[in-house]
Chain A
Amino acid sequence: MTHRTLLIAFPKGRLGDELVPKLAGTPLALDAEALKSRVLRIPTATPSVAALLLKGADLPRYVAAGVAQLGIVGSDTLDEMDMDLLELADLGFGACRLSLCAQEGVTLEALRAKPHLRLATKFPKATESWLSREGLTAELVPLSSSAELAPLLGLADAIVDLVQTGGTLKAHGLVETFVLGRSSARLVAARGAYLSEPARIRPLADLLLGALKARA
């Protein structure tokens, strides 16, 4: 890899599953053979551009540090991490809600009335911000995955988590009791790369936006 190779950080997981098919057949299509392997640096159909496949929680750091010049990441992750990077566009896809979810029959009022509310979440910053706005206090139980189990097993009274279709919640007997915010995929850029080399970075951002728009 040279300084001239441009890197785009793509998310693994839910967002990545939506993104990769959108890029198929475009100049930024990911190499199918490399995708089947365990390689995390994937060539694209444009020789001077490669993709990094990263976990959402790591991706903003790669872009903020300028390792990758562009990236695609959920706005929920951006808000939680508050890294110094540019957010060039709301891409619209990957839309979901950040919601307070509890077992069926447990209302928001019931949760508010609890003298010691415990909330399990992967999103402590957004949860603290909501609690502050509501004038509530709670014990936050930090989790990195499978938050839906927490209310069922008594680890927490409710969870704050991303909800897309509600299928996982339903499978665990949970329902949304309040929507804290909304999230969607965002195109992000390294501040330094974008401001110091706009002639290289802006055409790539336009290419990516064009590829996604064509498949919208």
Chain B
Amino acid sequence: MPVRTPHFPDLLFGPAARLRKWEGALIGLFEAHGYRELHPSLVLRESLPDGALRFFDGDELVALRWDFTVALAGLLARGFPTPPARVAYAGAVFRRPVQPWEAVERFEVGCERIQPEGESSAEADLELARLLMAIPGVLGLKSAILHLGHAALVRRPLEAEGLFGDLADAVVAALSRRAPHRVKEALDGHPSAGRLTAHAEALLSELDGPTTLDALQASPYAELLRDERDHMDRALKALLPILPPNLELRVDLADVAGLGFYTGPTLRLWAPGAQQELAAGGRYDRLFPGLGRPWQAAGFCVRLSRLLDLAETRPDLFEQAQ
């Protein structure tokens, strides 16, 4: 049965002022680090997924902007022979909600780091992580948690086992639920069942602490994932010494959200007690090649609508009355 909720919430004085202030502060932060704002049109005429708000403009089916990254990628691939290295964006996206309490209209601010083919991505990934580490301070959050993940930790073993389609989706869904017993159920009778279940248990065995990466040693795919482990290890060594006060850094080996999109390191920002992540992103090196451009890219998006909700429901999580 469809659930009716206020999907297009109006912002009254307090939240409207907060939105304006946060958008300005975050765009200011990005600009200070060399990111320049682009503003793709609110109406998209291509790549119209089911979750978009679609309507007819005369005889043409169009959609309201449903994702900044996709909208920007189209704009950049069409209009730029070489990519700008750093772009930022701010505005609303419109998506049909997965959960009934989610709004259709969502306010976001984000940034993207784009590189020509062949350029090392490691420094760009660190640059984005450092930038995301500054966000809680800009927003006045008392404390926050940054989760580091890596999409390849799940993607590569699945590909190595030749697992695609529904079966791979079932394994990813089980990992998303952090349920290794579901991985075992999904793969019952498959030759890779034992290996992938052991891998799932390794990924889920630790959520934080300095030994988290060591959990990968227990995986049957430890050797296959050596490069990814080294990449995460280097990132931790680079980020831990510059961690701001009140920000915790954790490794989340079983982060599979957006696995169909992300290809490398992933970043997620939480506040203690928040029910949803407040910012998320990662590396997505397949997007631009799919549009005919041999560029690599990574970025993250700050979900301002969730922060506005949090300021209303949990003002105690912020430094001062928001």
* Residues of A participating in the B interface, judged by any CB pair closer than 8 Å: 3, 64-66, 83-90, 186, 190-198, 202
Contacts and interface: CB of A to CB of B under 8 A. Distances in A.
Contact of B270 (A86, A90, A196, A202): A196
Interface of B: 98-99, 101, 145, 147, 177-179, 181-182, 207-208, 252, 268, 270-277, 314, 316
A89 to B, nearest CB: 7
Contacts of A84: 98-99
A192 B275 contact: yes
A85 B182 CA distance: 13
A66 B277 CA distance: 13
Contacts of B181: 87, 89-90
Contact of A190 (B147, B268, B275): B275
Nearest to A184: B181
Given A65-B101, A66-B275, A84-B99, A195 B177 contact: no
Given A65-B101, A84-B99, A89-B181, A195 B272 contact: no
Contacts of A202: 207
Contacts of A64: 99
In this complex, the member of B98, B101, B147, B179 whose beta carbon has the largest number of chain A beta carbons within 10 angstroms is B179
Contacts of A86: 177-179
Nearest to A190: B275
A88 B252 CA distance: 15
Given A191-B275, A192-B277, A196-B272, 20 more contacts: A3-B316, A65-B99, A84-B98, A85-B177, A86-B177, A86-B179, A87-B181, A87-B182, A88-B178, A186-B179, A192-B270, A192-B275, A192-B276, A195-B207, A195-B252, A195-B268, A195-B277, A196-B273, A197-B272, A198-B207
Nearest to A61: B100
B305 to A, nearest CB: 15
Question: Which of B147, B275, B277 has the largest count of A CB atoms less than 10 A from its CB?
Answer: B275
A65 B309 CA distance: 13
A87 B178 contact: yes
Leading 8 A-B pairs by shortest Cβ distance: A192-B275, A66-B275, A87-B179, A196-B270, A87-B177, A90-B181, A86-B178, A197-B272
Given A3-B314, A65-B101, A84-B98, A192 B179 contact: no
Contacts of A191: 275
A198 B177 contact: no
A84 B176 CA distance: 9
A168 to B, nearest CB: 26
A71 B137 CA distance: 34
Nearest to A88: B178
A86 B181 CA distance: 12
6 contacts: A84-B98, A84-B99, A90-B181, A193-B273, A194-B178, A195-B277
Contacts of B208: 198
B177, B181, B270, B316 — most chain A CB neighbours (10 Å): B177
Nearest to A196: B270
A89 B181 CA distance: 7
Interface centre among A86, A191, A193, A195 (most CB of B within 10 A): A195
